Amino acid sequence: MLSKIPINLDRVGKGETDKEILRAGIIAELDAINLYGQMAAIAKEEKTHVGEFLTLLLRKDGEQEPELEKGKKEVEELMEK
């Protein structure tokens, strides 16, 4: 959830506007840090889901694992060049 900026700049006296804008910027950056942290946690969870689906696929499709190994070896050979 994003924060609500708690100030109305129309009601701020001269000389205070810059300070209030800077405070609002700090609030926005803290919100961004929190949001990106949550997104990183979600991305990590999605990687777990990929592992779950891959494990199930490997159990159901006997051809999948040898083909994955073949692809892995091809990449390793390319990376050695």
pTM score, whole prediction: 0.62
pLDDT of 74 > 90? The answer is yes
**What does the pLDDT read at residue 68?**
97
Interval 38-70: pLDDT, tens: 999 999 999 999 999 999 999 999 999 999 999
**What does the pLDDT read at residue 12?**
82
Q: What value, to the nearest 5°, has the Cα angle with vertex 27 and ends 23 and 32?
A: 145
* Distance of alpha carbon 52 from alpha carbon 58, whole angstroms: 10
pLDDT of 25 > 90? The answer is yes
Helix H or strand E encompassing 24: helix 17-60
Please, are residues 21 and 13 in contact by the beta-carbon 8 Å criterion? no
